[in-house]
Structure 1
């Protein structure tokens, strides 16, 4: 769905982009604080210090705003991780750096991870089906599959079903964050190191 202020190929102004970023940041803060079900547009507007009408001007509805929250956080994670992953010397090093990198990002930005978890668990369509499920995770699976295939081609990884491993790795990372959010006293980095060891053992040659 297109925002009300977008027409054809028209670009948003600097002020419009700044306002959208402000609203997205307020949505993250509100969802992390009160949970997705209670994060109404009115409440998000109050957090942002604007009227609900301002949100409606920039976003077609809550679904579009939430979509932009997810895109923004995922883009930020990717921008943080990709340079680090590019420095690794082997496929197993990349697997380890990926797990540890997302854990370090979560520790630095707990509100963003809490907001994502709330969205993934509670955001459902009119049919009651989660709006973010396996289909929404497809880009993540494909990215991991590319890593595995490259490692297999170089002989650094054993032969295995790359889709099964991609789903397993991403699901394990999601479960790690869910566990940490419900038990904040958990040593997230220790958990990540242990998980990374398990995944490396699963993919490296016998």
Structure 2
């Protein structure tokens, strides 16, 4: 092993090989599934290793601790949701963006119940995640929608976008939770009801 001499520049972190990247992705997928099935507390390092078909030492080669792997699983689930919703919102005009936000959020979480439970777990575990990170993007979409519609420029058209975004976010959470508890409940139909309510609020 080559040692760094005095005054030498620190080495750049080595890029993981394709095999290592594939293994890390597998471990994240396994962890997402186990958290969805057993919760964070019930997802031990030993259980992750067994489900992945490798040893605990091999897991720790790729992630320095269970907590680091769980954080990676949380980020993976959240990133997937953000990218999906962002793509749906970006594919429509500003006026229909809030509706696309609601529909894509509910649709993504309906189709991925495992990710849904992991995302709920991630938000609950995050001590520094501010509530504004949830409501502000939707409030911005609603503001742009009203501007595009012409509503935001009319006299007396003031609307508390923060409160409206919080209410819509709570509605999405409730729809998804009801579907998780009662699989026969139709979340997409409920999303359409929420969209209709939102439209009446944004464009009176």
Verify same fold: TM over 0.5.
yes
1:136 is displaced (CA, Å) by 5.0
How do 1:52-63 and structure 2 match up within 5 A? 52-63=56-67
**Aligned 8 A contact 2:110 2:176 in 1:** no
**Against the structure 1 CA distance between its residues 60 and 202, is the aligned structure 2 distance closer, same or farther, given a 3 Å change threshold?**
farther
**Against the structure 1 CA distance between its residues 180 and 87, is the aligned structure 2 distance closer, same or farther, given a 3 Å change threshold?**
same
**Against the structure 1 CA distance between its residues 198 and 19, is the aligned structure 2 distance closer, same or farther, given a 3 Å change threshold?**
same
* Superposition RMSD in Å: 2.5
How do 1:135-146 and structure 2 match up within 5 A? 135=129, 137-146=131-140
How do 1:27-176 and structure 2 match up within 5 A? 27-91=31-95, 93-120=96-123, 130-132=124-126, 135=129, 137-154=131-148, 155-157=150-152, 158-176=157-175
If the length of structure 2 is used for normalisation, what is the TM-score?
A: 0.78
**Against the structure 1 CA distance between its residues 77 and 119, is the aligned structure 2 distance closer, same or farther, given a 3 Å change threshold?**
closer
> Within 1, Cα distance between the matches of 2:126 and 2:111?
24
Secondary structure at 2:125 match in 1 = coil
Query: Which residue does 2:202 correspond to in 1?
Result: 203
**Against the structure 1 CA distance between its residues 111 and 10, is the aligned structure 2 distance closer, same or farther, given a 3 Å change threshold?**
same
Q: Deviation per CA, 1:4-35: give whole Å up to 9, x if none.
A: xxx75443222222111100100111112223
Structure 1 stretches lacking a partner, 5+ long = 1-6, 121-129
> Within 2, Cα distance between the matches of 1:9 and 1:52?
23
Structure label with greater radius of gyration? 2
1:140 is displaced (CA, Å) by 3.3
Q: Deviation per CA, 1:30-77: give whole Å up to 9, x if none.
A: 112223321112112211112222222222323322222222122222
1:133 is displaced (CA, Å) by 6.2
If the length of structure 1 is used for normalisation, what is the TM-score?
A: 0.78
Runs of 4+ in 1 over 4 A off after TM superposition: none
